[in-house]
Chains A and B, each alone.
Chain A
Amino acid sequence: MKWSTLAIPVLVAVLLVYALVKKVNVYKAFIEGVGESLRSLVSLLPYLAAMLTAISLLKGSGALSFFTGLISPIAEKVGVKAPLVPLIALRPFSGSGALAMLKEILSEYGADSPVGREASVIVGSTETVFYTVSVYFGAVGVTKTRQAVPAAIISGLVGTAVGLVLA
């Protein structure tokens, strides 16, 4: 997809000029946005530290490859490559965990390998389903969640399947 490398500079240029026409102080807005992102990065770090500690122990001890070996014959029957199995299992629970797992996969197999592309698309096209559901229902104290959880899980499975096909 070489055109995407051209589309982004063009889109950014259009955005900046449009904002200028709309009398936005582009410079000030950019700095404000970057400042906010730093705060999010700092609050993300502890979550990444916890998840990477767990993943690093599972990987280093060989427990992860044992689990992957156990699941992979079944997974490969439905077209899921073995290294993707732990990623798909972790994705609905933890965004930072999935990101950490993605990095492991990309550094081991290469970012542009088929597995690397599939892993990237899966992480990008799915959400932390259980996190989202618990934050929102938790906020209003709704306990009869009805179709929300199964619908969210089906949506995650469809996103993963379509991602695997398109990657």
Chain B
Amino acid sequence: MYAYFSGMMNWVFVILTAIGLAVFAAKGDGEGAMTALAEGTGGALQLTLELAGPFMLWSGLFKVAEKAGLTESLSRLMRKPLSLLMPDLGDAAAPVSLNLAANFFGLGNAATPFGIEAVRRLDRGDGRASDSMAMFIALNASAVELLPTSVIAVRAACGSADPYGIVVPTFIASLAAAFAAVVSAKLLGKVIK
């Protein structure tokens, strides 16, 4: 199911890497290329370590919230407003709201299986996206997230005096993105059959 995507990333990765290497080669700077290559993977390990602290903290706390039933109450709360956005929601209501709730709490990995279950239940097997399915996917592509934990972690690692200072503008901007997703999915759905 990741075939479309990994095919696309395959091209992105090869083209970006080849451009970089070609420019190094054109300059005759083989040493620079070797340094850049080593910095890439070494930097990835360092970045993972920097992300680890805050990510572990928030994942632990989110699990506590989940066990306390907070994600479930959120998904119950969302059922009504969601059926306004997706008229033929049907039995997809549960996975749709669990997916959006998991995204909201920053649990991207937990969200994906619910999302896949949701599109399966919205699918009518005709190879064509229904209005509700298009709405769900457009909404998923706009990240309404309570705490952008990885951004906060990178900010803290880079010596920010106020790593959390971007939480409020980020939340408002993501709400605007979700609103735009809803409006454009509704309007474009009338034009694109």
Chain A 125-141 interface mask (CB, 8 Å, partner B; 1/0): 11101111111111111
Determine the chain B residues whose CB is within 8 A of the CB of A93 once the complex forms.
Answer: 8-9, 12
Count how many chain A residues have C-beta atoms less than 8 Å from C-beta atoms of the other chain. Answer: 97
Within 8 A of B (CB), among A117-167: 117, 120-121, 123-127, 129-148, 150-152, 154-160, 162-163, 166-167
B61 within 8 Å of A by Cβ? yes
Q: How far is the CA of A154 from the CA of B188 in the complex (A)?
A: 11
- Nearest CB on B from A68, distance (A): 14
A75 in the interface, Cβ–Cβ < 8 Å?
A: no
**How far is A25 from B66 in the complex, measured between Cα atoms in Å?**
12
State A150–B59 Cα separation when bound (angstroms): 33
How many A-B contacts if CB must be within 8 Å?
362
Would you call B20 and A60 a contact (CB within 8 A)?
yes
Q: Are B170 and A125 in contact (CB under 8 A)?
A: yes
Which residue of B21, B43, B69, B140 is within 8 Å of A132 (Cβ)?
A: B140
Interface of A is mostly: helix
B159 within 8 A of A: yes
Q: Give the dominant DSSP class at B's interface.
A: helix
Within 8 Å of chain B (Cβ to Cβ): is A1?
Answer: yes
Which residues of the other chain, B, contact A157 by a CB distance below 8 angstroms? 180
Docked-complex contact B64 and A15, CB < 8 angstroms? yes
Residue from B8, B13, B63, B179 within 8 A of A130 (CB atoms) = B8
Report yes or no: B60 in contact with A138, Cβ–Cβ below 8 A: no
A-B CB proximity, top 4 nearest: A57-B20, A33-B63, A159-B177, A53-B40
In the complex, 8 of the A-B residue pairs with CB atoms within 8 angstroms, ordered by the A residue number, are A15-B70, A30-B61, A61-B23, A100-B47, A106-B154, A146-B189, A159-B176, A162-B176
- Taking beta carbons and an 8 Å cutoff, which residues of A are in contact with B? 1-2, 4-5, 8, 12, 15-16, 18-19, 22, 24-26, 29-34, 36-38, 40-41, 44-45, 48-63, 93-94, 99-100, 102-103, 106-107, 110-112, 116-117, 120-121, 123-127, 129-148, 150-152, 154-160, 162-163, 166-167
Interface residue ranges, B against A (CB under 8 Å):
1-5, 8-9, 12-13, 16-17, 19-21, 23-24, 27, 29, 32-33, 35-37, 39-41, 43-45, 47-48, 50-52, 55-70, 109, 112, 115-116, 119-120, 123, 127-129, 131, 133-138, 140-143, 145, 148, 150-151, 154-155, 157-174, 176-181, 184-185, 188-189, 191-193
Q: A121-B173, A167-B169 are in contact. List 9 more A-B contacts (CB 8 A).
A: A30-B64, A110-B159, A138-B3, A147-B138, A147-B189, A152-B141, A156-B141, A162-B173, A163-B173
